[in-house]
């Protein structure tokens, strides 16, 4: 069944600048495997050396974090939307200049 995978801006360079990709898949895992087969350069940004999703990559299915569903085994329905959301870390250290 067709599902849409939303690609975040930092990863679009690996998907021919596409902001979304439509795939046929029955589970979230199948969709991500299909995506990384179609765009091989994307794989190293989503998966670690052991083949697991990187800890800083969050996957949402229709606005729900798959970690609270059935993880990557979560079944898909026609027209579902999967969003890849990389965690953002870092920032500035604030210093107080007090008189």
57, 84 Cβ separation under 8 angstroms: yes
Residue 56 belongs to a domain: yes
Residue 72 belongs to a domain: yes
CATH code, domain carrying 45:
3.10.20.30
Residues 1-50: tens digit of each pLDDT: 799 999 999 999 999 999 999 999 999 999 999 999 999 999 999 999 99
N- to C-terminal Cα separation, the chain: 64
32, 65 Cβ separation under 8 angstroms: no
Residue 92 belongs to a domain: no
Residue 91 belongs to a domain: no
Number of domains the chain contains: 1
Residue 22 belongs to a domain: yes
pTM, entire model? 0.84
Residue 31 belongs to a domain: yes
Position 88 pLDDT exceeds 90? no
Residue 95 belongs to a domain: no
Residue 93 belongs to a domain: no
> What is the domain range of residue 45?
2-86
**Separation of alpha carbons 81 and 27, rounded Å:** 12
């Amino acid at each position: 069944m067709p599902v849409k995978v939303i690609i975040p801006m930092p990863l679009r360079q690996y998907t021919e600048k596409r902001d979304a990709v439509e795939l046929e898949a029955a589970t979230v895992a199948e969709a991500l495997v299909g995506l990384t087969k179609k765009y091989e350069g994307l794989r190293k940004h989503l998966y670690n050396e052991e083949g697991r999703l990187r800890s800083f990559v969050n996957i949402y299915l229709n606005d729900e974090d798959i970690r609270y569903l059935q993880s990557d085994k979560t079944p898909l329905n026609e027209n579902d939307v999967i969003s890849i959301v990389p965690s953002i870390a870092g920032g500035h250290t604030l210093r107080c200049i007090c008189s």
